[in-house]
Amino acid sequence: MPLPPSSRLGAADELSGSLGAAPDHAVEVAPDSGPEAMNPRDLVARAPRVTTILLIGKLAAGDRETLCRVRNISETGMMAEVHGSFTVNEAVEVTLKAGDTLAGTVRWNRAGRIGVAFDEKVDVPELLAHAAMRSGAEGIARGPRFTADCPVALLVVGYRHPARLVDISQGGARVTVASAMPRDQLLGIAIPGLGEHEAAVRWVGEEACGLVFLEPLAFAELGPWLLDMRARFGKQEDGS
């Protein structure tokens, strides 16, 4: 028996990385309960050609920033998976790996997902073309990177070298370290709150080096960590 249209949309949304279009003028489904629930009278027709996607971006709101996973998008808004709490009418900004920035306002928030209305209309085909590129305005397009400042340890054949985390992404990290690390060196990196991860040295600078993780950090692992200021910036209970 064919699934009803709403079920087909829900199933498509769960296909990681899939691309597809919902029927024109589909209705944006808002949370149906809780303090952030929208009144049915406030439901508006979704812009034509809503596209189901899976894009990782940097979500910023005020002084907070974390990973988000954009699940569908139209010229007027998007739905994204997030960590942390974002309130209705809060201004947010999402930066994608090719450098495209989407600014908007949270319209609903429910069970780890938010609906965002864009401040300006977005050219979705152009945005997706940028997202598929391996390079952007600043060179090679990489996943979102986040600043950090916390003590870490580089583990090399039985030795533990103290270092400091400067920035991090799902795919790698930049650290400052006094000990010389040769390019392509395999090592482990121990990060407070994230545990130990295997990595390789990709570039070497003056008392700094860039690492690539042999296994990318999971969205569910890195996202909450980025919101933990004590771990990310090495802050103590008193905020120092």
CA distance 145 to 90: 23
CA distance 215 to 175: 18
* Position with higher pLDDT, 20 vs 44: 44
Residue 8 has pLDDT above 90, yes or no: no
| Of 221, 180, 220, 175, nearest in space to 199 by CA | 175
Distance of CA 161 to the CA centre of its chain: 29
47 pLDDT tier (thresholds 50, 70, 90): low
Residues near 2 by beta carbon (within 8 Å), at least 6 away in sequence: none
CA distance 75 to 121: 5
Strand partners, 156: 159
Asked whether 45 and 114 are in contact (CB, 8 A), the reply is no
User: Could you tell me where in the chain the CATH 2.40.10.220 domains are found?
Assistant: 5-136, 146-232
**Residue 220 identity:** A
| Of 84, 103, 113, nearest in space to 229 by CA | 84
Question: May I ask the CATH architecture of the domain 5-136?
Answer: Beta Barrel (2.40)
Tens digit of each residue's pLDDT (9 = 90 or more) over 79-106:
999 999 999 999 999 998 878 899 999 9
**Residue 108 identity:** W
Question: What class does CATH assign to 146-232?
Answer: mainly beta
Tens digit of each residue's pLDDT (9 = 90 or more) over 183-216:
999 999 999 999 999 999 999 998 899 999 999 9
